[in-house]
């Protein structure tokens, strides 16, 4: 997309635009975690803290959203408040993007859409909670998150605490391998499972430092290899949840979804809300801490990439 067309559709906050032009470290953030993942006003407090974590490492935060049909890289306080209040805020993936923009609607960006907007704004590093993937039973339902296709095609490195535990993690990793997406571990040999530090599945390479990740990202893109990378960053030990306990909770949440006939794009928000209820709020506390941890790691990687 040329600069003129980009201006027609997108607003990039001056601080972010200047940082990208100067080759300074910038970290993209999604907005679905705010509008569809947390209650108000806790989400507003969380949004401010995530930005602080990124700035403390020497990088610039860039929250993505669509407001009244405008693509946004960086939000004003009023726009952030609007996303957190979530009145009439849609959950927007790649397929929804042209509909939302053409009709001047307002939406929060998923992992896939955040990657698209980050790439348009020239941002290479993105911190999220957990990625979407192949849903359990996906071999029959074909319920596979658009996040995986985006990772195959869009040159953005995504730092996450693994795939959400509600998914089929083994099949998710198989899909990423088929799509040629490098899956790196942030000082781990084991791909993390969101609330838990280990999933029982390995990563392609254990990066001991943020500089190791930056070096691989730079090499991948300089070689002209399409797509992004996935960096699994385990939740800190003190906030991690027990794998067996969480597996039992997820089975209960899946049974509730089945009973209520919840499907498609509504399944993930439903399951995450059910898990919060079933864990007495503990899963939300873990979710918040892993998001801070991912923001910190992403900012450190962005700083190293800027040095290269």
Catalytic residues: 30, 164
Copy the structure tokens of residue 274. 């059910």
Given the structure tokens 């700035």, which residue do they identify? Answer: 55
């Amino acid at each position: 997309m040329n600069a003129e067309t980009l201006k027609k559709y997108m607003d990039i906050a001056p601080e972010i635009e200047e940082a990208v032009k100067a080759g300074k470290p910038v970290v993209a953030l999604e907005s679905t975690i705010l509008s569809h993942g947390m209650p108000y006003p806790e989400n507003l407090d969380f949004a401010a803290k995530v930005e602080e974590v990124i700035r403390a490492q020497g990088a610039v935060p860039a929250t993505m959203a669509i407001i009244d049909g405008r693509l946004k890289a960086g939000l004003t306080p009023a726009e952030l408040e609007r996303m957190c209040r979530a009145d009439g805020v849609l959950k927007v993936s790649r397929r929804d993007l042209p509909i939302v923009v053409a009709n001047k609607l307002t939406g929060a960006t998923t992992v896939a859409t955040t990657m698209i907007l980050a790439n348009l704004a020239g941002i290479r590093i993105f911190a999220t909670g957990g990625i979407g993937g192949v849903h359990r039973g996906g071999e029959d339902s074909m319920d596979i998150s658009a996040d995986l296709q985006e990772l195959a095609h869009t040159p953005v490195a995504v730092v996450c605490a693994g795939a959400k535990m509600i998914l089929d993690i083994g099949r998710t990793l198989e899909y990423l391998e088929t799509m040629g997406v490098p899956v790196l571990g942030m000082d781990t040999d084991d791909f993390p499972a969101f609330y838990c530090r280990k999933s029982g599945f390995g990563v392609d390479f254990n990066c001991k430092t943020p500089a190791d990740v930056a070096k691989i990202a730079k090499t991948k893109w300089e070689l002209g290899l399409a797509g992004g990378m996935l960096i699994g960053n385990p939740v800190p030990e003190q906030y991690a949840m027990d794998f067996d306990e969480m597996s039992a909770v997820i089975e209960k949440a899946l049974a509730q979804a089945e009973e209520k006939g919840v499907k498609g794009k509504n399944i993930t928000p439903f399951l995450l809300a059910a898990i919060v209820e079933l864990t007495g709020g503990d899963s939300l506390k873990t979710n918040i801490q892993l998001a801070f941890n991912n923001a910190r790691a992403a900012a450190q990687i962005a700083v190293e990439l800027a040095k290269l």
